[in-house]
Amino acid sequence: MYLVCGEALFDFFSVDQASNRANTLNFQALAGGSPFNVAVGLRRLGIDVALLAGLSRDYLGQRLRQVLETEGVNTDYLREFDAPTTLAMVAVGADGSPHYSFRGEGCADRLLLEAHLPVLDQRVRGLHIGSFSLVVQPIADTLLALVRRERGRRLISLDPNVRLNPQPDIQLWRQRIGELVKHADLIKVSDEDLAQLYPGQAPEALIQGWLEHSAKLVFLTRGSQGATVFSRVHGSWSVAAQKVTVADTVGAGDTFQAALIAWLTEHRLDSAQGLDRLSREQIDAQLRFAVGAAALTCTQTGPELPYRHQL
């Protein structure tokens, strides 16, 4: 089983409908949050998965729990709080890329403390962390403590998924990502993330620095330009994006992340030792599997992650 850690929230998408009332806006609310999406994506790909997150006892928080249970995600690691659910207002650009505005200060997903961390047994093969839960408190320090505790015991994957709206202090992002990359075995990062974190610096040089720590593999996603993998043993190479009609790109990165983990799990290589055994051909197959999964998500509106049989 894989344990995904971080936020669960609702994305509110503006729905363009003709109305004679200037004071009326129409929205469609979709369950989301990057870690939430990765957990759902893993389950849809046939992987046993649980979510470690803070959920509100309010109506939206309980709807999030309902979605997880319906999808088959293990809910044993959820913690409930008398605090509201984070809301993300999403506007989609002409190229399909999402732009977020978060309402999350003091909300349930941020309230996890180190005292809430569970003792993990051998069922848990790996951990995934990412997005703004890495930098908003107190959950940020809680997840750092978890990663430090579990390093070397389980596969640890990281996706920075930088969101400056919940935490605009880019120096804080740099500091925390710089600490976490020392502990992660597998890293997925987008070119947009690196441009925000380290403007003007070559992604290749940054990633080579990450490979000097624990990371065996780093995947760099480039949107419509495809993706590149960097292997400590086998070097780096790229594959092109699949040509699809794009509805939007919401959830594509989360799908890519879930597909990377799912591929490793299917091939019984979901451990630090398993990463060491990967051949160049296996890494290439993993990369292409993730690119194909992400492309399928782009054909749907919102974070509609694919099922295994669709791939």
Quick one: pLDDT at residue 125?
95
The whole-number pLDDT of residue 38 equals 97
How far apart are alpha carbons 294 and 277 in whole angstroms?
Answer: 25
**Can you give the pLDDT at residue 302?**
72
**Cα 162 to Cα 281: distance, rounded to the nearest angstrom:** 30
Quick one: pLDDT at residue 20?
65
Beta-carbon contacts of residue 102 (< 8 Å; ≥ 6 apart): 9, 86, 87, 88, 89, 132, 163, 165, 166
Residue 63 belongs to domain spanning: 2-13+28-310
| Contact partners, residue 235, CB within 8 Å, separation at least 6 | none
Distance linking the first and last C-alpha atoms of the chain:
21
**Residue 220 falls inside a structural domain:** yes
* 21: in domain: no
Residue at 127 is within a domain: yes
User: Domain for residue 35, yes or no?
Assistant: yes
Helix, coil or strand: residue 193 = helix
22 lies in some domain: no
What pTM value is reported for the model? 0.92
- Look at residue 231 in the predicted model and tell me its pLDDT: 97
- Over the range 226-247, which residues count as b (16 or more CB within 10 Å of their CB) and which as e? bbbbbbeebeeeeeebeeeebe
Which CATH number is 276's domain given? 3.40.1190.20
| Mean pLDDT computed over 156-175 | 94
Smallest Cα–Cα separation from 251: which of 98, 42, 146, 63?
A: 98
Reduce the DSSP state of residue 125 to 3 states and report it: coil
Confidence of residue 28 (pLDDT cuts 50, 70, 90): confident
Rounded distance, CA 38 to CA 99, Å?
19
CA distance 257 to 40: 11
- Strands 227-231 and 217-221, how do they pair? antiparallel
| DSSP H/E element including 204 | helix 203-210
Q: What is the pLDDT of residue 18?
A: 55
* Residue showing tokens 């605090």: 83
Residue 14: predicted pLDDT: 72
Confidence of residue 35 (pLDDT cuts 50, 70, 90): very high
Which residue carries 């509609």 as its tokens?
304
As for how many domains the chain has, the answer is 1
In a domain, 20, yes or no: no
Confidence bin at 17 (pLDDT 50/70/90):
low
Measure the CA–CA gap between 26 and 18, rounded to whole angstroms. Answer: 10
Q: How many helices (H) and strands (E) does the chain have?
A: 9, 14
Angle between helices 34-44 and 59-71 in degrees, nearest 10: 20
Residue 270 lies in a domain: yes
Residue 23: inside a domain, yes or no?
Answer: no
Write out the H or E segment, with its range, that includes residue 227. strand 227-231
Give mean pLDDT, residues 232-257: 91
Q: What is the pLDDT of residue 255?
A: 96
pLDDT digits (tens, 9 = 90+) for 56-96: 999 999 999 999 999 999 999 999 999 999 988 877 666 66
